[in-house]
Chain A
């Protein structure tokens, strides 16, 4: 660990090689009631290397969010399996998975007045030590506080520590949720639409934060995004989902192409090279009036 702190996690992932392996994964909702129902996710097989940023793109209803939930163990695999560090997610305990994988949900609303520091500290839950006599009081150790502190430094929310989460702006709240996820000491970070509902300034902010954390913390990142430019600029590889099936997977240059996008979304788009990075850039064509 680069933080100079005691690593409390018992979970282990290899530094090299695949962090996530998806083998013949199928999933559908309501398995018992509607036998003939189509698969939400249909025979997916791919892997995510340790330290990689994988972007998942696809039209509405193509199964992006469901895939993310199966990867985090929130939904059970129907057929096939998801392996984290070589071990099937079904064979790991909930706490074990929570020590490996952190999820940043698309939206976060808090109805109760919790402070930012309290919220980030909740990320230490999977590392709690269960002592029945303490009744859950004062459970947070100095190590827990240190991890929460470091996560807040890394996401630049330390100055907000005693503010209420409900008072924050959308961009600040997203940072707090990432800080909360980092406090879990995860090896894998899953984000669902991290830049949705954010203005351009905060979009850049969150994306470069994710890129920086990947390097600093050697995180494996999987993010779902509707924004093809986010996927193109910040992801090492892009996975395309179409109707629950794996359509394409590869580098942004291989995937973000007019012909592929027309096949996927059924519309024409303009793709040129980003003036700074040279990566594909997607813009809407001139409208027909």
Chain B
């Protein structure tokens, strides 16, 4: 049967462990290269040497700001390094959440913002900005906490609205999400309209999606969060494959559809809340990256989820590098770059591989 496996593997008919390892290995290498490149770009461009010194410095675990470091190294360690990593984690999360929701909703147009949790987070942050809260609490910035709380509340409301008799029908979930989205967006608009102009401009820029350099504790918490959610998503990948056959068929194959749906909706919503609270609403990554990756490597979620996460991370890291440099020293919201870069690339893929399209 080895012949069979190899012949199917050659034509790409089924996923094999070799193809999985090759794709993921290749992407990991590409990620390292892309991240190192991205570190060089910003309001001040630095050379590879500085990047290397800074990385070595971080790896030795020394205090930033020690006298051995020059200004550009300090910029690297304290600002650019965490920001590039944050961009990578946010992009990876957006893509992983997008691919999961597309499978759960059996809708290739779904993205992390479709269920209204994101609007809850955005409203939380808007409220905090309106009230002028902006200090830190226990090493953590307060704004993300507000965002997270808002997302959590929105999740509970959607659950309550969509659930009936212990089940979670996909169409009521979508409907509840869309309606809640509209209501919460109206509140956000109201808040921006009553804010002072300079503050509301800041809020608008944040809503469009922008990355900042987080402190290392916040970065660590976010990373832990992303890794945990990704692990569960990967664990459920095969059930997700079967779920695309339709819920009844999945149940007849032994998938606990209700349990899987509830678990994954809750997890992806929590991650979405976290994403929005640190980076606003960065569009396009969560929808386009899963699409593009699916066109290239197929639909098997065991490979699609980690591959989308890695590609999403790279994509956002590069987009953020562009957002930092294109109008330096000013920055533009990264959401604009993702939409402008992602759209045409997606169109190109669509034309290039029409037959693999939906």
Contact = CB atoms under 8 A, between A and B. Distances in A.
Nearest to B249: A105
Interface stretch (B12-20, B206-214, B342-350): B12-20
B252 A162 contact: no
Nearest to B241: A122
Contacts of B8: 117, 145, 161-162
A125 B299 CA distance: 16
B255 interface: yes
A112 B299 contact: yes
B248 A136 contact: no
Interface residues of B, number: 50
Interface string A244-281: 00000000000000000000000000000000000000
B224 to A, nearest CB: 18
Interface in B215-269: 231, 234-239, 241-242, 244-246, 248-249, 251-256
Contacts of A139: 238, 302
B65 to A, nearest CB: 40
User: Interface size class for chain A?
Assistant: 35 or more
Given A103-B249, A110-B245, A125-B255, A118 B15 contact: yes
B13 A161 contact: yes
Contacts of A74: 248, 251-252
Given A118-B13, A122-B241, A162-B12, A105 B246 contact: yes
Contacts of B4: 145-146, 149
Choose among A112, A117, A119, A138 the residue with the greatest number of B CB atoms under 10 Å from its CB: A112
Nearest to B240: A136
A112 B358 contact: yes
A115 B356 contact: no
Interface in A121-163: 121-123, 125-126, 128, 132, 135-140, 142-143, 145-146, 149, 161-162
Contacts of B141: none
A138 B20 CA distance: 8
Contacts, number: 138
Contact of A135 (B165, B237, B249, B255): B237
Interface in A41-87: 69, 72-74
A118 B8 CA distance: 10
A142 B235 contact: no
A145 B11 CA distance: 15
A32 B108 CA distance: 35
Contacts of A105: 246, 248-249
A72 to B, nearest CB: 6
Choose among B2, B103, B246 the residue with the greatest number of A CB atoms under 10 Å from its CB: B246
A114 B244 contact: yes
B244 A115 contact: no
A142 B2 contact: yes
A94 to B, nearest CB: 5
Given A123-B253, A136-B236, A139-B238, A116 B13 contact: yes
B253 A125 contact: yes
Interface in B1-46: 1-2, 4-5, 8, 11-17, 20
B50 to A, nearest CB: 38
A165 B251 CA distance: 20
A108 B252 CA distance: 14
Contacts of A146: 1, 4
B182 to A, nearest CB: 25
Contacts of B103: 112
A81 to B, nearest CB: 19
A206 to B, nearest CB: 18
B53 interface: no
Nearest to B24: A137
A117 B237 contact: no
Nearest to B17: A138
B83 interface: no
A138 B253 CA distance: 19
B106 interface: yes
B245 A115 contact: no
B235 A111 contact: no
Nearest to B256: A94
A135 B5 contact: no
B80 interface: no
B294 interface: yes
Contacts of B254: 94-95, 97-99, 125-126
Contact of A142 (B1, B242, B255, B358): B1
14 contacts: A72-B252, A95-B254, A98-B253, A102-B252, A105-B246, A114-B298, A114-B299, A114-B300, A117-B8, A117-B13, A135-B237, A136-B235, A140-B14, A145-B1
The 6 closest A-B pairs by CB, nearest first: A138-B17, A98-B254, A117-B13, A162-B13, A162-B11, A95-B254
Given A110-B244, A139-B302, 19 more contacts: A95-B254, A101-B252, A105-B246, A111-B108, A112-B102, A113-B299, A113-B356, A118-B14, A125-B253, A136-B235, A136-B236, A136-B237, A137-B237, A138-B20, A142-B2, A142-B5, A146-B1, A161-B11, A164-B355
